[in-house]
Amino acid sequence: MSLDKIQQLKKLLDASHYILVVFSHEQDTDSVASALAWKKFLEKKHKQTDVVCFGFTNHHHLRFLSGAEKIKPALSHLQKFTIKVDISNTKIDSLSYNIKDNWLSIHLNPKQGTITKDNLRTAQSSYKYDLIITINTPDLESLGEIFSNNTDLFYRLPVINIDHDLNNENYGALNFIELPAASSSENIYKIFKKIDETAIDQDICTMLLTGIITQTRSFKTANITPFTLNIASELMTAGARREEIIKNLYYNRSIPSLKIWGQALTHLQNDPAIALVWTSITRDELARSLATPRELSEVIDELIINSPQAKIILLLYEKEDGFINGILACEEPYDALDLLSRFEATGNKKRAYFALEKKSLSEAQAEILRQIRQKIKHL
């Protein structure tokens, strides 16, 4: 990480007044914790900051992180559009409006005379944000509707791109793609230290340690480096509340989470020859458990932690709309998107999401397993 890049970042931050922090709609804990750390850090520097993630829902196990309840699921009020009317010669008696067929009609009734188009002016304000920070977002499309509905915003404003994934497209005005960092949280800690170490308080340390712990599965994954351990040590020395993190992440499961975990264990199967573990959940089991997509994602996390021999973990679940949805998590040397190349999967090489229609759960499972085995055979 060059000092020149940090100086450029400082310059952008100093010149900014309202900063937007966004991350991929996959909503992994490292992204949530990193984004909240940025918000707290920037607010201590007297910068107004919004954290936005498409479709975000505040999960119970992350509510201990300060500010998590303020993460927004969509962008709003980006600009003001003003209609001005010259009433120096024609006074207005009444004003009304109505909406029909997605058209807004504004009705002006003058006291006397007429109002023509020559009396009208329009004005459009600039965007309320002046800087964007993206976290764990390999490409802008990964932001979902945050990007697709506001592409002009991302092309007009400078973007600070922070990630720890080799597949990142380096789309930012400044790119902090730190390798071989195990998480973006440790990358951000190094950035904060270079900008202003005195602004790193206990809450920020707790957020960043949360990201590191979840991304390394409590320091069990193969991507841990001595730098990761050293940063974790520094964060705890500086006041990170490790016991609070562990309690909320691993000992504070919701009832739906426990129910769906039990169902997943009931159907668990494995193929040790290719280090593959898979399970499936029926529509009735999903309905009875009241599990959300987040709890389903937690099933994958639990399988990763409790199946250290597995390199590929597959979860399939049946939805009421007739679709079979799936999550595939992989560790090196496997690539989740490559293994699922036939199924228009989204995500990244570590975790991919897909859906199949017009198939039973057993048919979908057989097709996916066949595809994975064929791909591995040709590697």
**Where do we find the tokens 């498409």?**
54
pLDDT given at position 367 = 94
Q: 366 with 306, same domain?
A: yes
Out of 215, 248, 281, a domain closes at 248
Q: Six-digit token pair at 61? A: 């196990």
Confidence of residue 298 (pLDDT cuts 50, 70, 90): confident
In degrees, rounded to 5, the angle at the alpha carbon of residue 70 between the alpha carbons of residues 66 and 74 is 145
Write down the mean pLDDT value for the chain: 90
Out of 229, 248, 267, a domain closes at 248
Q: pLDDT tens digit string along 226-261? A: 999 999 999 999 999 999 999 988 777 778 878 888
Out of 192, 222, 248, a domain closes at 248
* Arithmetic mean of pLDDT, 270-275: 91
Q: 153 with 10, same domain?
A: yes
Percentage of residues in the chain with pLDDT exceeding 90? 55
For the ranges 147-151, 163-167, 331-335, 342-346, the one whose mean pLDDT is highest: 147-151
114-128, 192-206, 313-327 — which is least confidently predicted? 114-128
Q: Six-digit token pair at 344? A: 């228009």
Q: 33 with 157, same domain?
A: yes
Q: 106 with 86, same domain?
A: yes
Percentage of residues in the chain with pLDDT exceeding 70? 98
Distance, in Å, from the CA atom of 339 to the CA atom of 321, rounded to the nearest integer, reads 25
Q: 48 with 155, same domain?
A: yes
Asked if the model's pLDDT at residue 2 lies above 80, the reply is no
Q: 217 with 324, same domain?
A: no
Cite the DSSP H helix spans in the chain. Answer: 3-15, 29-44, 145-148, 151-156, 184-196, 202-215, 226-237, 242-250, 255-266, 283-289, 293-306, 336-339, 361-378
Q: 114 with 26, same domain?
A: no
State how many domains the chain has: 3
Supply the range of the domain harboring residue 294.
255-378
